[in-house]
Amino acid sequence: MLSEPRCRVPEHRKDPEARFDAEQNALVAKDAEAYYRTMVRVGAGSWNVRDRHTVETLERLMRFHGPETKAIVWEHNTHIGDARFTDMADAGMVNVGQLVRERRGEEDVVLVGFCSHRGSVIAGSEWGVPMERLWVPPAREGSWEDVFHRAGEEDKLLVFADAGDDYRLLGPREHRAVGMVYDPTHERYGNYVPSVLPRRYDAFLYLDETRALRPLHMQPREDGELSETFPFGE
């Protein structure tokens, strides 16, 4: 079983990228086993395995490309915004933003969040259904999105260089979370994450109204075929 990989060791030594790919495939196999093992349990286990895997992959890419390498990671707010400044921490959850800050130091990391007061997005209303254009209703009263809207309907870019001791900024407020799955009918009792915004992010982009993207290629899944990350892989 191992004879073929062993024969290819000299080949990988000559080709750093091939060796990187082989090692990454091994890491994926190891972490996938841990992910699916924890996914059947209740709790934060599978989420944490997946975000730790993302960060480890990022670190490997940075080392591979050299000490001057910079990277941009595009993910949903729930993964990017530091989990320590949300109620995710109470549930024992970590995320990419938190882990990268802890590894690299806050001075070498910029976490940028995004939100909108209203509009439309593309997502699935539940796991296992095709994505569709979904309406995003006006933000819940008192949320960060509502505060920015009432401050003026123009789009905004906020840079949290120093929030100081301003209780208006450092107090937690609800912050809407839109991911791969989003159900606008849950706005009254869900879809929001209490967040200390200037601590969760370094900068924040606010659009008063957003419009759904238009996917270039849409290939619907076969009937009855579940996503590999069902039901917890947001």
Any domain includes 229: no
Position 234 pLDDT exceeds 50: no
Share above pLDDT 90 across residues of the chain, in percent, rounded to a whole number: 63
Q: What is the spatial order of strands in the sheet that 112-123 belongs to?
A: 132-136, 112-123, 203-210, 156-159
Q: What is the CATH number of the domain that holds 177?
A: 3.40.1660.10
Would you state the structure tokens that stand for residue 191, as one six-digit string? 């879809």
1-38 burial by CB neighbour count: b if 16+ within 10 A, else e? eeeeeeeeeeebeeeeeebbebeeeeeeeebeebbeeb
Domain boundary among 83, 109, 135: 109
Any domain includes 231: no
Question: What is the three-class DSSP state of 1?
Answer: coil
At residue 207, the pLDDT reads 97
The pTM of this model reads 0.82
Same domain? For 89 and 130 the reply is no
Of 38-42, 118-122, 156-160, 212-216, the poorest mean pLDDT is in: 38-42
Any domain includes 234: no
Same domain? For 122 and 206 the reply is yes
Same domain? For 175 and 73 the reply is no
Domain boundary among 109, 144, 179: 109
Same domain? For 70 and 144 the reply is no
At residue 144, the pLDDT reads 96
Q: Each residue of 146-170: pLDDT tens digit?
A: 999 999 999 999 998 776 666 677 8
| Residue of higher predicted confidence among 14 and 135 | 135
Q: Each residue of 104-136: pLDDT tens digit?
A: 999 999 999 999 999 999 999 998 898 899 999
At residue 124, the pLDDT reads 92
Of 17-21, 169-173, 216-220, the poorest mean pLDDT is in: 216-220
Confidence of residue 41 (pLDDT cuts 50, 70, 90): confident
Any domain includes 50: yes
Domain housing 70: 1-109
Any domain includes 233: no
At residue 11, the pLDDT reads 59
